[in-house]
Amino acid sequence: MIAETGLAALWLAAGLAAYQFLLMVLALRSDIVVTRPMRAVAVVQGVLTLVAFAMLLLVFARSDMSVALVFENSNSAKPFIYKVAGAWGNHEGSMLMWVTILAIAGAFVALFSRRTGERTLVAALGSQAVLALGFYAFLLIASNPFARLWPPPPDGQGLNPLLQDPGLAFHPPTLYLGYVGLSVAFSFAVGALLTGEVDARLARAMRPWVLGAWILLTLGITAGSYWAYYELGWGGYWFWDPVENASLMPWLAATALLHSINVLAARGALKAWTMMLAVIAFSMSMVGTFLVRSGILTSVHAFAIDPERGTFLLALLAVYVGAAFILFALRGATLKEGAPFELVSRESGLVVNNLLLTVILGIVFVGTLYPLFVEALIGEKLSVGAPYFNAVAGPLALLLAMLVGIGPLLTWRSNRRPVLGRLKVPALLGAAALVFTVILAPRMGLLPRLGFIVAAFLVAASILPLVSRNPLRAPLATWGMVLAHFGIAVALTGMAANAAFSSERLAIARPGETLGVGPWQVELIGVTPTAGKNWTANEAELRASRGSGAVTLAPESRYYSDPPTETNESAIRTFWDGQLYTVVGKGDPSGAWQLRLWWKPFVTLIWAGGALVAFGGALALLGRLLSFLRRRRSEPDWRRRYA
Amino acid sequence: MKPKNQRLALVSSAIVAVLVAVLLAMWGLRERASYFYTPTEILAGKAEVNRSARLGGLVQRGSVVRDKDGLTTAFLVTDGKNSVLVSYRGILPDLFREGSGVVAEGRLAPAEHLNQIFVADQILAKHDERYMPPELGNLAAEHKAGKTLEK
């Protein structure tokens, strides 16, 4: 009954989404006011999807093997938390989660959004309903998560130990929340283009959604990077894998949107520009979902063999993005031009930020999709990896990071403040970094060296917006911006240090032998067999020391029996100045073991920087929400205005 | 700037940005994309020596040998018709098994005594036990049916 309840809720929600769309058409074609029913329908639709998703969680939690999805992806022997997480660790479940978040986001817009004009709100909710409708159709026609099996099999097939990992369980939901937050920005943009009400009010209504989505994408990317770092045992933090790029592309677009939306909110300029970015940002979310969910990354052929899912997603992508572009082409030119600004001004700085982000996004986009196109068109297989992305996008990213230090110092409309004078200290720090890196490491690569210089410049330049004023009086949003920009400098330092100063040692060792890596002496004490719930392992005991004191590390290589799998569990020790990263491989009959050791100075700054960026975003969001609540209290008639 | 000129400047700068992105990407891809080969294609001389490339196939059963240094592993990668010797120095990834699919990332070493060796920098591990290099569609089917690949 549980599964059937879920399915019924899903059908009802789909029906309501269709009704919501009809209401929008009605409202836009006549002057009938439908705001109230529209709000109600959107809320009920959100609740219904939540019910459907809760039912899915329930069948997974109860290991109900008569549901095909549970049988394929779960097993009664799994730890409870992974049983539940298994609900979205598969195709159907993750699509249900997608549409659930989408519908709930719509419900929140319906409940709380009072800033835009009523017609725009109705149009935005209608657009959100159309987005949801596509995914309902996808679920109900092509990938029903609640399909039953008869007779129910005794137990499930899903025991892959590699998937039993907290990183994998909570990473996708974070990214999905980010993707779907951008859907709201998209819907607002579509709604505003339909009604022509592209103004500062719209930007203020969109901003919390963009900011929230951007924070979650930042966190998702940072966490995903750390997960790949410790789990894969390769010592790298970013592999330019298409799945990683699928999350990076929406982030780049959302970052651009986040900055241009401030221009629209503060100055009423960059109207068409911002609407375009909102469309692109959600398009990138759809592209990301398509890349990850269609199976196209394994192979263009796999996509052709099992075309239902991929084609459906691709069609949805084409319809939504195509419709939005057509709407933009029809309406974009009719938008009234925004407030003018001079060539040197805050607005221009943000335009340059947007242009650079767009170019980087284009480079990542082409590099990610190029292999798919070549294979589909010519049949040749190739891959594009770090050499391309680092060399082509890297210098642009550094240029952008440099400008991050300068842009916030400019004033709106036309610059009235001497900027170069204020940049003396940052410029000196940058020059000092150049001198130091040349003396300390004359043969360092060009990119890491530039990275150090830009990071040193940005560390000081990013806090300047707080220096000239009383920092305690600065708005939270300013604090957020400063922290986020400072976080970029921190992450950049970590990346440069990792690229320039990492040392690696690959060797075999017998118990009692000592290997040197960087400043460390690492002794292999011994290797002992151990066992866990469904695995056996060889656990190495390593004692590492530099100067005084010693720490022990215990990397493992594990063997799972069902399905037969081997995993290397790295052991990592964090110090204030870096991480010691150890992996144990196979032993040979003579008792020697393969060891791979890294000393990675200041590598943790990469993720600390990412977390700072996200935290800065959260501060800005908090600041906006607080000032919204304050204004709402001072306007007691806000309720009456729209009711 | 007058509003009209401003719009023109914005539109043209956006178009230039997109063009620059595409041109940069095309320039970068010409040099830096690495091609995927099967053992048969390598033996047919399709791969350039010392250019980064990928080699995909199945690890031939009984071919995995560990070198005396304890770190270098040599094995044959086969597509059922031909096989190429791969050498890799490092710790093999989680899902490396004889008879399973593998993708080696590296470069073809200059031929010595007519033996072509593919030197791998990285052996790719896919987080899926059912993974099979898609280019080996037929072989994958045989593998799943439990047939062994002995030449």
**A244-256: pLDDT as tens digits:** 899 999 999 999 9
pLDDT at B151: 29
State the Cα–Cα distance between residues A601 and B133, nearest whole angstrom: 36
Contact call for residues A594 and A498 (beta carbons, < 8 A) = no
State the Cα–Cα distance between residues A461 and A211, nearest whole angstrom: 23
**Does the pLDDT of residue A97 top 90, yes or no?**
yes
- Least confident residue range of A114-118, A282-286, A579-583, B110-114: B110-114
Mean pLDDT, residues A215-226 taken together: 94
- Reference A167, options A217, A213, A222; nearest CA is A222
Of B27, B66, B90, the CB nearest to A506: B90
Of A341, A343, A363, the CB nearest to B24: A363
| Model pTM above 0.80 | yes
Low-confidence ranges of chain B (pLDDT < 50): 127-131, 135, 138-151
Q: What is the ipTM of this complex?
A: 0.80
Residues A278 and A387 reside in one and the same domain: yes
DSSP state of A547: S
Of A116 and A38, the structure prediction assigns the larger pLDDT to A38
Q: Where are the domains of chain B?
A: 1-33, 35-144
State the Cα–Cα distance between residues A316 and A335, nearest whole angstrom: 27
A381 to chain B: closest CA residue: B36
Phi, psi of A533, deg, nearest 5: -60, -50
At CA A453, angle to CA A245 and CA A250, rounded to 5?
20
Residues A488 and A520 reside in one and the same domain: no
Strands B117-124 and B83-89: parallel
First to last CA, chain B: 75
pLDDT at A562: 66
pLDDT at A163: 65
Residues in chain B with CB shorter than 8 Å from the CB of A391 are: 28, 32
Tokens representing B83?
């096989």
**A47-77: pLDDT as tens digits:** 999 999 999 999 999 888 888 888 888 888 7
Mark yes or no for CB contact B36/A383 under 8 Å: yes
Mean pLDDT, residues A211-229 taken together: 93
> Does A513 map to a domain?
yes
**Does the pLDDT of residue A633 top 70, yes or no?**
yes
pLDDT at A303: 52
State the Cα–Cα distance between residues A229 and A241, nearest whole angstrom: 13
Residues A233 and A118 reside in one and the same domain: no
Phi, psi of B88, deg, nearest 5: -140, 130
Of B13, B25, B33, the CB nearest to A362: B25
Contact call for residues B52 and B106 (beta carbons, < 8 A) = yes
State the Cα–Cα distance between residues B94 and A286, nearest whole angstrom: 32
Of A337, A360, A370, the CB nearest to B33: A370
Substitution target from B13, B18, B26, B32 for chain A, most A beta carbons within 10 A: B32
Residues A439 and A586 reside in one and the same domain: no
**A516-566: pLDDT as tens digits:** 998 999 999 999 999 887 788 899 999 999 987 789 999 998 887 766 677
Tokens representing A445?
């690569």
Contact call for residues B29 and B70 (beta carbons, < 8 A) = no
Mean pLDDT, residues A446-456 taken together: 95
What 3-state DSSP class applies to A267? helix
**Residue A275 carries which side chain, given as an amino acid letter?**
M
What 3-state DSSP class applies to A507? strand
**Does the pLDDT of residue A605 top 90, yes or no?**
yes
Contact call for residues A597 and A575 (beta carbons, < 8 A) = no
pLDDT at A234: 77
Substitution target from B2, B6, B69 for chain A, most A beta carbons within 10 A: B6
> Does A171 map to a domain?
no
Q: Measured between CA atoms, how close is B87 to chain A, in angstroms? A: 15
CATH fold, domain B35-144, is OB fold (Dihydrolipoamide Acetyltransferase, E2P) (2.40.50)
Number of inter-chain CB pairs under 8 A, A vs B? 137
Q: Which among A145, A164, A183 is the end of a domain?
A: A164
**Does the pLDDT of residue A272 top 70, yes or no?**
yes
List strand residue ranges (DSSP E) for A419-564, in order. Answer: 503-509, 514-517, 520-531, 535-545, 550-553, 556-560
Mean pLDDT, residues A347-363 taken together: 93
Place of tokens 């539109």: B11
Residues A3 and A137 reside in one and the same domain: yes
Tokens representing A230?
């410790």
Tokens representing A564?
């037969």
| Beta pairing partners, A567 | A558
Tell me the residue range of the domain where A242 lies. 197-337+344-412
Residues A510 and A486 reside in one and the same domain: no
pLDDT band at A159 (very low <50, low <70, confident <90, very high): low
A357 to chain B: closest CA residue: B17
- Reference A593, options B18, B9, B94, B91; nearest CA is B91
Q: Measured between CA atoms, how close is A557 to chain B, in angstroms? A: 9
pLDDT at A143: 83
Of A453 and A592, the structure prediction assigns the larger pLDDT to A453
| Beta pairing partners, A552 | A543
